[in-house]
Structure 1
Amino acid sequence: MVQEELRQQMEAAQRGPSEVTQNFVAMLRAQLRDKEAKERQLLQTVADLQKEIQQLVSTPSRDTTGQLHFLTDSKALQTEINNLRIQLKMSRDEASKLRDQLNNRLRMSSKREAAVERRSVATEEMLQKKVKQLEDQLQETKQKQDKDRSDNEARKVKSAEEVARWDERKRWQQTVDKQKQKLKEKTTEIERLQSTVVSLKDTATRLEREKIVLDSRLRARRNSPASGTRIEALELEKNKLQVEVATLQSKLEMQQHHSGGLGAAMLQERLEAQQRRIAALELAKKGSGTVSEELEKLQETNATLQKANLLLESENLELRLDLEKHRTDTPRLKEQIQHLETYVSLLKTENAEHGGGAGDKDAEHKSLKSVAEMERTVIAMKRVVEKLQRENRRLMSGRKDTVIERESSADKLRTKVTTVEAEKKELQENYTEVMQKASRLETELDEANNQLRLLEGRLRTERDNAHTHTNELQLVKSQLEHKSQLLDKVKVLLRRAAAKEKMLHNKVTALQRLVPETLGQDRDT
C-alpha cells in the first residue's frame, strides 16, 4: 500500500509540471500562429497596393486633379506601405523572439522534466529504501517484543526461584532466632552449672578438710583405745554426705528437666519455621512486588544474622570452657570417691581389729552399722558420679550435633554463594545486553530523527509540486514515539537491573564473609 501511494504521488508530481509547460507552449504556439496570419495578411495588402500603384502608373492620367489626388493617395499609400513594412518587420522580430522564447521554454521544460524525473526516481528509491528500513525496524520491534515476552516469562521463573531463596533465607533467620533462644537457655543453664560447680568445689574443699580431720582422728584412734567418739564422727559425716547427695540429685533432676524443656522449645521452633515457610509461599503467590520488598529487607536481616552468629560463637566458646571444667572436675570427684572407699575399707579393718580385742557387742554393732551406712553413702556418691558422667556425655553428644548442624549450614551457605554468584554473572550479562540494546536504540533514534528532519526539509521544498508523504511522516513519527517509549522502558529495566545487581553483590560479599567464619569455627571445634 505504501509503495502504491508513493508511485501515485510520484506520477502526480511528474504530471503537474508537464501539463503547465504544455499549456504554456500551446499558448505560445497560438500567439505565433496569430502573428504569422497577421504577417501574411499584411504581405497580401502590400502586394495589393503595389498592384494598384502599377495599374495607376500604367494608365494615363485624365486630369490634373486626378493626378493630384493620385499623388496624395500614392503618398498616403507609400507611408502606409512603409508603416506596414515596419509593422511587418516588428511582427517578424516578435515572431522570431517568440520562436526563440518557445525554444528556450521547450529546452527549459525538457530540462525541468528531466530534473523532476531524476528527482522523482531518487525520491522513489529513497522512499523504497525507507519503506524497507521501516519494515526491517518493524520486524526487529516484533522480535524484540517476542524476546521481551520470553524475558518476562524468564523473570517470572526467576522471581519464583528468588522466592524460594528468600524462603531459605527466612529459614536461616528462623534458625538464628532459635539460636538466640538456645543462647538464652544456655546462659541460664551455664549459670546453674556454674552454681553447681561452685557448690561442688565447696564440697570438694570441705571433703578435703574433712579428710584431713578424719586422717588426724584415725591416727588418734590408732593411738587411743576409745572408739565411740570416732563412730559418732563417722555418723555425722554420713549424714552430711547424705544431705550433699540429696542436693546433687535435686540439681541433676532440675538440669534434666531443663534439657527436656529445651527439646520442647526446639520442637516449637521447628513448627514455627514450617509456618513461616507456608507464609513465604503465600507471599510468592502474590507477585514479584512484595518479593522485591522482602528481598530488600533480607539484606538488613543478613547483617543481624551475622551479629547473632558472632554472639553464638562467643557463647559456644564459653560452653566449651564449661565442658572442659566439668571434664576436669569429674576425675577429681572419682579420686575423692576412691579415697573415701579406701578410707571406709580402712575403717572396716580397724573396727574388726578393735572389735576382736574389746569384746564389747554394742560397740561392735554400732561400728558395723556405721560401716554399712558409709557403704550406702559411697554407693550413693557413685550414682551421683555416674549421673554426672551421663550428663557430660549428653552435653558432648549435643555439641557434636551442633557441630554437624553447623557443617551442614556451612555447606548450604557455600551452595547459596555459588547460586548467588551464578545469578550475579547472569545479571551482569543481561545488563551488558540491555546496555548494548539501549545504545543501539539510541543510535537508531538519532538516525530516525535525522531522517525525519531531512524528510521535513524535502517536504517543505516539494509541497508545491506534490502534497504527499503525510501518511509516511505520521508513520515515522509513530514509530519514533514507539521507539522512544521502548527506550524509556529499557532505561527503567536498566535501572532495576543495576539496583538488583548491587543488592546481589552485597549479598554475595556478606555470604562470602560468613562462609570462611563458619568454616574456621568448625575447624577450631
Structure 2
Amino acid sequence: MVYKTDSEKLKELSLDEKNNLLQLIQKQRMEYSGHLEIDIQKIIKEKDDKIHELTVKLRQMKQNDSKKNLQAEPESSPNKVSDLEFSKDQLAKEHELLRKRYEQLINREKSTKDEIRDLKAQLMKKPSTMRTDKSTRIIKEQLQKKIAMLENEAEQLKKTVAEQVSIIETHRVQAADNFDKWKKMKHWQQVAEKLKNKLKEKDVELEKLQQISAGYRVLIERLEREKHNLEQRNRSLKGNNVTLESARDAELLRVENMRLQAELEGLRSRLEMQQNHSGALGAAMMQEKLEAQERKIAILELASKGPSEIRAELERLQISNSNIQKTNLRLEAENLDLQLDLEKASKEVPYLRQQIEHLQSYVNALQSENSEKHAQPTTQVIPTRDEIKKNSELERTVFMLKKVVEKLQAENKRLMNGKRPLSDRVASAGKLKRENDKLKDQCGQYAEKICRLEQDLLHVKSSKSVSFCTKSESDKVAALYDELSKVKEQLQSKTTLLDKVKVLLHRAATKEKMLLEEISLLKGQMQTEGGTVAEVSEGDRLEMNMYQAINNALDTVLGKDQTSMIFGEDVGFGGVFRCTVGLRDKYGKQRVFNTPLCEQGIIGFGIGAAVMGKTAIAEIQFADYIFPAFDQIVNEAAKYRYRSGGEFDCGKLTIRAPCGAVGHGGLYHSQSPEAYFAHTPGLKVVVPRGPIKAKGLLLSCVRDPDPCLILEPKVLYRKAVEEVPVDDYQLPIGRADVLVEGSDVTLIGWGTQVHVLKEVAELAKNELNISCEVIDLVSILPWDLDTVCKSVKKTRRALVSHEAPLTCGFGAELTATIQEECFFHLEAPLARVTGFDTPFPHVYEPFYVPTKWRCFEAVKQMFEN
C-alpha cells in the first residue's frame, strides 16, 4: 500500500472539489474573524467602561483628600481605608482577568497563524496551471488581506491592553503610597499625644517630689537640732550622777537580770518555733536533744550525792538506751542533720559571747564598787530583802547560763561521737569536724569565763556591804535615774525617726533622679520622628500578685481574640490557684470550660483546635501531671509543622503548668520538668519570676507561631507582688535578664531560684566582699547564650542553680556550653547547686531544695580553691 502526500492528494482532486475546499476554508476564516472581532470589541468596551469608572473614583478620592485635614473624625478613617483596600483588591482581580484573557487571545492568534501558514504551504505546492487560475488568486488575495487585517488588530489590541495595565498599575501604586502616608501620619500623631500626656504627668510628679523633698530636709534639720540638744542634756545628767553610782549599779543589775530572763524565754520560744517549723523530723530531733540535756543535768545533780561508780553506770545505761532508740532516725538523715546542727551552733555562739561580755562588764562594775567600799570604813549591816532577792536572781541567771554552756558541750560531744563520716563525703566531713573542734574550744573558753564570773559574783556577794541612804537622797537618785531613762528613750526615738527620715529622703532623691531621666528620655523621643517602642508600657499600673497578673493576661486574650478558648481541669471554677476566676462568667461556657481528668485528652484537644485556627490555652493542673500528655506534646505538637511540610501547624497552642516546690507538696506536687522538654525542637519553654514577667511572657506565648509551654512557679503565685501595667504588652522569648550586675562571679537561675540567688549575692557582698552578677535565664528553650557567655567572660566564674535533680538537669547544658565557649576565661571550676538525685521528699524538703546557704557555701568554695 502506497501512502500519498497532501500535495499528491490535491493534484488528484478535480477543479470543483478544489473550489469547494477553498470556499470552506474562506467561510471558516470569516466565522473565526467575526467571532474574534466581536470578542475584541466586547473586551475593549468593558475596559473603556472600567477605565472611566476608575477615573471617576480617582477624581472623587482626590477631591475628598483635598477637603480632609488631620483633625477628621476617627469614624470616617477606617471606612475610607477599607474602600481603598477594596478598590485595590478589585483592580488586582481585574488585572488578573485581563492577563488571562490576553493569554487566551495570544494562543488563539498563534493557532490561527499556524493554520494560515499550513494553507499557504499547501497553496504553494499546487501545480502552475492551477496557480494561474483567477479564482485561486482572488481567494489568496482575500486571505492575505484578512491575515494582514487580523495582524494589525492583534497589534492594536496588544497596545491597548498594555496601556490599560500600565494605567491600572500606576493607580494602584499611587493609592498604596497615599494610604501608607496617611497611616504613618496618624501613627506619629498618636505617639506625640501620648508623649505629651506622659511629659505632663512626669512634670506634676516631679513638682510633688520636690515639695516632699523640701519638707523632709526641714524635718531632718529640726530632728538634728533636737538630737544635739538631747545629747547635751544627757551628758549634763551623766555628770550630775557620778556620785550616785552605787545605787544606779544596783538598778542596772536588776534591769540586766530581767533582760537575761527575757532572753532565756526568747531562747525557749525560739526552740519551740524550730520544733513546730522544721516538720516531723525536726520536732523529733529537738525533743530528743532536750531529753538528752535533761539527763545530763540530772547526772550533774547526782554528782555531788552518789559515788562515781553509780554515776558512771547510770550515765552508761541512759546513753545506751538513748542510742538504741535514735539509731534508725540518725542513719536516715546523718549528713543533713550535721549541717543543720552546725548552722544552729554557729548562730548561737555570737549570742552567748555577747551575754558573757555583758556579765563580765557588770562584774567589773561590782568589783570597782567593792574596792571603793573597802577603801572607806565600813560597818556590817544586814542586807535588805530586795538585795537578797537581786543576789538570788543573779545566781539563778549565772546558773542558767552555765547550763546552756553545758548543753552546748554535750551537744558537741554527741555530734563528735554519734556521727560517723560517710565514705563519699570525706572532705566535707573533715571540714565539719574542724568546725566542731573550733566550736568545742570556744564553748570551753565560755565555760571558763562563766566559772570566773561565778567566783567573782560570790566574792562580791560575800564582801559587799551596803550603806543606807536617807529617804530624800534615795528619792532624788530615783528621780534622776527616771529622768535619765526618759532622756535616753527620747534620744533613741529621735535617732530612729531621723534614720527613717534619711531613708525616705534617699528614696525620694532616687525616685527624683529616675523621673528626671525619664523626662529627658521622653523629650528626646518627642524631638525625633522615630523611636523604639518599650517592651513594657509605661501607662497605668496596678499592684498585682502573680496569679492576678496571669488572670489579667488571659482576660486580655479572651477580650481581643474571639477565637481564643481556655480549658483544663477545674478551669471553669477558677482553677486550683484561682488563675481563671471570673473568666467563665464574663466570656461564657463555650470559651472557658472544664475538661475530664485526662491530660492526654486535654493536650490532644488543644492541638486539634490550634490546627483549625483557634487560639487554644490548655492548663495542666500541676506540672507533675503533664507526663501522660508527653507524647502529644513532644511527638505531635512540636513536630506538626515539620511532618506536614509547612502546610499545617499548631502554633496557636499554649500550655500552662504550675511547677516547683511549695513547702508541703511532696513528690507529686513539687517537680520541675523543664529539662524533659528542653530536648524537643519545635517547642518554646519559659519560666517567669514574677507578675510582670508572667503577664508579658504569657501574651508572647499565646501570639507566638510555635507551640509554647509556660511553667509557673506556684510558690510565687501569692508571694510575688509587683506594679503590673494594665495595658497589653509582650516580653521577648529567648532573652535573659541581668538583675544584679557584678564583677566576681555569675549566678544563673530561673523561676523561684532567682530570688534565692539575689539573697546569695547580697550575703556574699556583706560577708565575703564578693561582687555577684545575677542572671534570670527566663527562657529555657531557646536560651540566651550571648548574655550568659558575656557575663561569664567578665566575672570568670559561674554558678548554676535549679530545683530539679542534678543529673541531666538543664544546668548541665548551661555548664557544658559555658565550658566550651568560655574555657580560657575561667579561673575556677563551674558549680551547680541543685536538688538531689532522689524523688522529691516531703519531710526532707527543706534539705532537698537549693537554699541560699548551700549556694553561699558553693560561692565561698570557688574563691577558697
User: Is the TM-score greater than 0.5?
Assistant: no
TM-score (norm 1): 0.33
- Report 1 or 2 for greater relative contact order, CA contacts < 8 Å, sequence distance ≥ 6: 1
Q: Could you say which structure has the larger radius of gyration?
A: 1
Which structure features the higher share of strand residues? 2
Which structure features the higher share of helix residues? 1
TM-score (norm 2): 0.21
